[in-house]
Amino acid sequence: MLDYTIRRLLIALPVLLGVTLLNFFIIYMAPGDPVDLYANPDVTEADKLVRREALGLDAPLIVQYVKWLGRLLIGDLGTSFSSFQPVSHMIVERLGATLLLMGAALLIAYLIAIPLGILSAVKQYSWLDYVASTGSFLGVSVPSFFLGLGVIYLFGVTFGILPTGGMNTIGQEGELIDTLKHLILPALTLGTSIAGGMVRYVRASVLEVLNQDYLRTARAKGLPEWKVINKHTLKNALIPIITVAGLDIPMLIGGAVVTETVFQWSGMGQLTIQSILSRDYPALMGINLVAAVSVLLSNLWADLMYAFVDPRIKYN
């Protein structure tokens, strides 16, 4: 297992290199110029050239990429064009908030989706199955920004029972209960699309296992239904579920950008939007690097979990 993990990490290095190269050229070739953000009516073209040279934008793109890669090898993600802070510090400040939001969204999604998917499969073609299937399609179909605005209007404006944005109430920074209240709506919004897709996969996976001969044998031996489901069905249905769980990380990263913007949650998603609007190339490269590493690690985690769930799977 250790040898396999090391090989996968070594294979991921050229993949990560290719991702950073592609991201670098896409970001730097996008319309707009960071120097224009510093411009005012009194700025001359000569002043702009001096500013471009100070930011390192006067060199060819491949030279800029090699310099960025060289700094990355020593742990330097560069300096923000807009705030002039180290990009690594900006990411560290925002990463905790995003991890909290993503973790809460996953928890909500799986606590809803896994039991509901199992019940939907066990009670196939019942009213519960139809309700769960309809709800899962709605969860996947409704855009995050629309759902976010809807829950804000319902729980924040109409009933006034939950805060509509931010991470803390002014004067209550650092209080756990206050943070959890602010977390409920964005986590619910972000977790809904994950739960919608997961219900369908859990239902399909459990249905496939329920039709196997060894489960009929277990029932014929007199095992109670709850033991048949919990002991024999779930473990064998976990392989496809783990695959989908590994794919949820990229969806969470993309969904966090919209959700954090709607709810003014001070995380990586909001930082992404701010960096795009300010054409902050170093910050965008740092954010994309973190996202790429997260996706590669989530895929590795899914592969390792296969062997943990199913002892028949061996990585030699």
Task: Give the CATH number of domain 91-278.
Answer: 1.10.3720.10
What CA–CA distance (Å, rounded) separates 141 from 247?
Answer: 18
The reported pLDDT for the residue numbered 66 is: 92
d(CA 10, CA 153): 48
- What pLDDT sits at residue 169? 81
pLDDT, tens digit, 9 for 90 and up, residues 4-52:
788 888 888 999 999 999 999 998 888 877 887 776 667 777 877 888 8
CB 286 within 8 A of CB 42: no
Give every CB contact of residue 203 below 8 A, 6+ residues apart in sequence.
117, 118, 120, 121, 129, 132, 133
What predicted TM-score, i.e. pTM, was given to this entire model?
0.87
Compare 64 and 170 and report the one with higher pLDDT: 64
* pLDDT at residue 50, rounded to an integer: 83
Rounded Cα gap, residues 167 and 265, in angstroms: 6
Q: Sign of torsion, CA 25 255 299 183?
A: positive
Check pLDDT > 90 for residue 188. Answer: yes
Q: Is the confidence at residue 269, as pLDDT, over 80?
A: yes
Tokens of residue 210, six digits: 């329920």
Question: Could you state, in order of their start, the residue ranges of all structural domains in the chain?
Answer: 91-278
